[in-house]
Chain A
Amino acid sequence: MLRYIAQRLAQAAVIVAIVAAITFALIHLAPGDPFSAVMDNPNVSETVRQTLRAQYGLDRPLPEQFVRYVSSLAHGELGWSFSHERPVREVLGRALPNTLLLMGVALVGSFTLGILIALIQVARRGSVTDQVLSGLSLFFFSMPDFWLAILALLTFTYWLPIFPVGGAVDPVMHEYLGLGGRLVDRLRHLALPALTLTVLASAAVARYQRAALLDVLPADYIRTARLKGLTEREILRRHALRNALLPIISLVGLSFPALLTGAFFVEKIFAWPGMGYAVVNAIGTRDYPLVVGGVIIGSIMVTLGSLLSDLLYALADPRLRSH
């Protein structure tokens, strides 16, 4: 088991390295650089820009820049963020908890909601309820995340202004609130982005879970459960769900990247000060180190997520536990 984990971690390291290299190349190949994009100020002369570029080594050939970047990585340094004028580590260190909070809530929420919806559907399979829920889940499954985010923003902050427009906390009042008030303030800011992500991801979970449950129901051991005198509900919840959860555990790993990219756009729209918000803005300002740093952290999260879901799967299936 430990050997397997070590192997997977080695694989993950290779993947992260490749992703970092590709991102590095792509963002440098994009037109412009930190000093043409950020400082569109006409008062900054071309000579000043050239000096700045030379100062940060951006006038060097790309391979040389890459080698220098990798060596700084090897020292545990993610570089200097031009736009934030702070180390990348610090910028991401501040943003990461917000993203983890958003994704964590969405992950737990969407799997709980999705599995519940699937159970309701399968318990009443073929009924109108089942069909309506199937239609709804297909609708949200097909909807782009940024579109739903904008709709939610428009609906709940403009037409029906019950939630704040953006940010993680109220920029002015938060400081002056008591402990309870701060918590409420945080939750109110979290509500819309978390809800957007949850609804989208739960649609996918519900669809997979429903199919997995229907796959399991014709099995002989379900008939055995019926034979014991269990009710259909008990059969569904105990015998069917426990088996049908196995493929869904893999989905946790698979949904990690989708949730992360989803979070990038949703964060941008709700101005949620997470990694996605930071990285999307950094792309606009050509803040090279911040983009690459963000992508490295993101790909570490994705690879660890998939490793975690594989381990969970092995834990949940007794047939795999001994291996």
Chain B
Amino acid sequence: MTAPLLSIRDLRTWFYTEAGVARAVDGVSFDIGSGETLGIVGESGCGKSVTALSILRLIQPPGRIEQGSVIEFEGKDLVTLGDDEIRDIRGNRISMIFQEPMSALNPVFMVGDQVAEVARVHARVSRKDAWDRAVEMLALTGIPDAEARARQYPHQLSGGMRQRVLIAMALMMKPALVIADEPTTALDVTIQAQILDLLVDLQKKIGTAILMITHDLGVIAETASRVIVMYAGEVVEQAEVDELFAKPHHPYTEGLMHSMPHIGHDQERLNVIPGTVPAPTEWPAGCRFRERCPYSWDLCDREHPPLYQIGSGHVSRCHLAIEPGRRNHPHPPLVVKAGVAAA
């Protein structure tokens, strides 16, 4: 394998709050290859969005990327890069798409100008050229009558249209990497599939890599080739998509799979993993999933599990790797019906 496009080693992004130090991202490492789509999945508060923002150094105080963290991209360490150099990368080599297409666009500027601005910052082209490129890009994202749409304001567009505008903005400079943070969560279900198809389609045309951040395993299955599962600020499992869906190893991953609603199954209530993610200011000493894990035993209390090699390209942060037999011991259910857990 050639050198990866992006290589993250021991990323720690901590927030110094009044309630204590929140270790939102706590020692995350992974690679993304050129043109690859890597999925990051996990529930709210697991640190996936903070990981994304850390890559572009968009963490605002009291948050801070800790010393020793390394984010290597095209031969540069983004963590120690100067302000001018990181700005050169933002929107140009790495761009990002957010969850909220309404609030991510400036309400007082025409959408065409907002897309064109990217070219004016990075390509040093004239106002007219930037506008033409913006219209071209908007058309490429499937916006009908792009020339006229470009002259509209965000409030005049539907949610799906706005997300297309943001995608046009993100792909304007043909970046090497696009970070998509829950790009479809705020959209109607019918639009969601369209937007995902569009992303995959444009990825093929431009050859960009995508870091797909989502809580939705369905989105992962549809777009990603490799997937990382995050829990409590850590990577808990990493595998090829097919491998992960076929043989999930970490109990948290297993729980996520069992929580997915299935069409055709008569389910009155959705399945949930009982309990909640512990507060990031007080991660437990041993395994961070221990409290919610039906298989846990005394070792999980004592020792923080390392990432065990499970198979080719498959790692899992679970002591079951050394005592696989315990999975078959009698244990309480991994997931319960929603509503029951609260009682």
Contacts and interface: CB of A to CB of B under 8 A. Distances in A.
Contact of A229 (B108, B109, B121): B121
A43 to B, nearest CB: 69
A318 B107 contact: yes
Nearest to B109: A242
A75 interface: no
Interface in A70-91: none
B88 A224 contact: no
A309 B236 CA distance: 57
A174 to B, nearest CB: 47
Interface in A185-238: 219-221, 223-231
Contacts of A318: 107-108, 153, 155
A2 B88 CA distance: 48
B98 A228 contact: no
A3 interface: no
Interface in A234-248: 239, 242-243, 246
Contacts of A317: 107-108
Interface string B50-62: 0000001010000
Main DSSP-derived SS at the A contact region: helix
Interface string B95-123: 11010100111111100001001100110
Contact of A319 (B92, B114, B155, B169): B155
Given A230-B121, A318-B155, A225 B90 contact: no
Give the interface size bracket for A toward B. Answer: 20 to 34
Interface residues of B, number: 28
A316 interface: yes
B133 to A, nearest CB: 14
A221 B90 contact: no
B153 A223 contact: no
A239 B106 CA distance: 7
A227 B105 CA distance: 12
Interface string A50-85: 000000000000000000000000000000000000
B91 interface: yes
- With a 10 A CB-CB cut-off, give which of A225, A228, A243, A246 has the most chain B CB atoms: A228
A226 B58 CA distance: 8
A300 to B, nearest CB: 32
Interface in A157-184: none
Interface of A: 219-221, 223-231, 239, 242-243, 246, 316-319
Given A226-B58, A229-B92, A239-B106, 16 more contacts: A220-B103, A221-B105, A223-B58, A223-B104, A227-B58, A227-B90, A228-B91, A228-B118, A228-B121, A229-B87, A229-B122, A230-B117, A231-B87, A242-B108, A317-B108, A318-B108
